[in-house]
Amino acid sequence: MSRFFGIVNLVVIIFLAALLTGYMTYRYKESNEIEQLKLSYAIDYATDAGTMAMLDTASLDMDYSKFKYLNMDPNLALDAFLDVFCFNYDLPPTKENKDMMKDYIPVAAVATFDGYYLASHQLVHNNGGDYPETAENDSDWDLVFGMKLPYSYKPDGNSSATYALNMGLEYYYALEGGTLSKQMGLPPDESGTLTPNEARKYINDKIANSMADSIDTFNENNPNWQNSFYIPSSLTTFSGVNPIEGPSFLVLVQGLNLTTARSISGFSVSGSKIDLVRSVVGYTRNGQHYYAFADKVPEGVAVEELFTSLDEAAEDGYSFDPLFMN
């Protein structure tokens, strides 16, 4: 009988141990998933803030042939990102905390109308001697944006011309024989003319490949860095993500271990699309209030109000003008 109870007690202990192990494993996975979700939201909110910071101070080009053009400062995006990212982890956005957060960002990019900026870790101060021979001793690295890089394109390896694309896809620049010229439409490719989808895919791939190359170069140049980085595979394919068709801010965060024992990673793309809107004006003709598109109204008509839509003009008491809207 005592042997029977001993076996029963052993089975109960094994069962309880298995139950406890399963519960702890479940809690561990649940905690990691929550922290992963928190990181995802933190990066998304921070990249949105970075994009808004750029757009709030952007210089709009009033040439309607460049309706997607914005002149942006990428450093504003990165600074706003770090501020919001620190707040998401209950850290004040001090210089020390923001510098710490930069260590978790191997690469970032800002895509603009006619080119992109790439932020990578670079040696900004070295007390040990000439770079890179003694860079491992007393060196300061920082996440720094470089010069704007064009969306350069070559149809094949034997082509003598290099083309520069832009998000508008209405014209391009061709550099051949030392001469730079502006051409309308899209440049040629091996089978004829580059299609709009192919041009957008090339712009996406150009940014993604540059980010990957930047990570590889960083690993080679920084002897203190031992981690391996990756670009999410979905970014490298045109069908995997929404195409970059307007001003965008891309950030890769990896190796974050502020709230978890295991390092976690995340990636986010935030962007803005600029659309053309035809202005609507209100005026009085023959004692009646009418509205029409601004480009339809002939010279000499005294404009009284400016609206952003036909509905807004109608709500303000103006009627459709069949004379000028035909």
pLDDT means per 10 residues, the chain with 326 residues, are 67 74 68 77 84 66 47 83 90 90 88 88 66 53 87 76 86 84 85 83 86 77 54 44 70 80 70 59 88 82 84 88 82
Number of domains in the chain: 2
Q: Indicate whether 84 and 105 sit together in one domain.
A: yes
CA 313 → CA 59, 170, 229, 286, 310, distances in Å?
28, 32, 54, 18, 5
Tell me, yes or no, whether 80 lies in a domain.
Answer: yes
Q: Which amino acid is at 4?
A: F
Label residues 37-76 b or e (16+ Cβ within 10 Å = b). Answer: ebbeebbebbbbbbbbbbbeebeeeeeeebbbbbebbbeb
- Exposed/middle/buried for residue 12 (C-beta within 10 Å: 0-12, 13-18, 19+): exposed
Tell me, yes or no, whether 147 lies in a domain.
Answer: yes
Helices 74-88, 95-102: axis angle to 10 degrees equals 100
Domain edge (last residue) among 253, 271, 289:
271
Instruction: For residues 161 and 168, give the distance between their C-alpha atoms in angstroms, rounded to a whole number.
Output: 21
Instruction: Note the pLDDT of residue 83.
Output: 92
Q: 225: domain range?
A: 27-271
Q: Indicate whether 213 and 300 sit together in one domain.
A: no
Instruction: Note the pLDDT of residue 118.
Output: 92
Instruction: For residues 52 and 275, give the distance between their C-alpha atoms in angstroms, rounded to a whole number.
Output: 17
Instruction: Note the pLDDT of residue 133.
Output: 46
CB atoms within 10 A of CB 78: 26
Tell me, yes or no, whether 72 lies in a domain.
Answer: yes
Q: Indicate whether 182 and 316 sit together in one domain.
A: no
DSSP codes, 46-94: HHHHHHHHHHHT-EE---GGGTT-EE--HHHHHHHHHHHHHHHTT----
Q: Indicate whether 164 and 297 sit together in one domain.
A: no
- Exposed/middle/buried for residue 105 (C-beta within 10 Å: 0-12, 13-18, 19+): buried
Q: Which two tokens stand for residue 156?
A: 């094949």
Q: Indicate whether 254 and 301 sit together in one domain.
A: no
Q: Indicate whether 218 and 315 sit together in one domain.
A: no
Q: Indicate whether 63 and 86 sit together in one domain.
A: yes
Instruction: Note the pLDDT of residue 253.
Output: 85
Instruction: For residues 62 and 52, give the distance between their C-alpha atoms in angstroms, rounded to a whole number.
Output: 20
Q: Indicate whether 217 and 305 sit together in one domain.
A: no
DSSP codes, 137-172: SSEEEEEEE---EEEEE-SSTT-SEEEEE-TT-SEE
Tell me, yes or no, whether 19 lies in a domain.
Answer: no
Instruction: Note the pLDDT of residue 92.
Output: 92
The DSSP bridge partners found for residue 290 are 283, 319
Instruction: Note the pLDDT of residue 64.
Output: 41
- Reduced to 3 states (helix: H, G, I; strand: E, B; else coil), residue 266 is strand
Tell me, yes or no, whether 14 lies in a domain.
Answer: no
Tell me, yes or no, whether 22 lies in a domain.
Answer: no
Tell me, yes or no, whether 1 lies in a domain.
Answer: no
Q: Indicate whether 252 and 305 sit together in one domain.
A: no
Instruction: For residues 279 and 285, give the distance between their C-alpha atoms in angstroms, rounded to a whole number.
Output: 19
Domain edge (last residue) among 229, 253, 271:
271
Instruction: For residues 170 and 69, give the distance between their C-alpha atoms in angstroms, rounded to a whole number.
Output: 12
Tell me, yes or no, whether 172 lies in a domain.
Answer: yes
Q: Indicate whether 243 and 303 sit together in one domain.
A: no
Q: Indicate whether 188 and 256 sit together in one domain.
A: yes
C-alpha 146, offset from chain centre: 16
- Exposed/middle/buried for residue 292 (C-beta within 10 Å: 0-12, 13-18, 19+): buried
- Reduced to 3 states (helix: H, G, I; strand: E, B; else coil), residue 319 is strand
Q: Indicate whether 218 and 293 sit together in one domain.
A: no
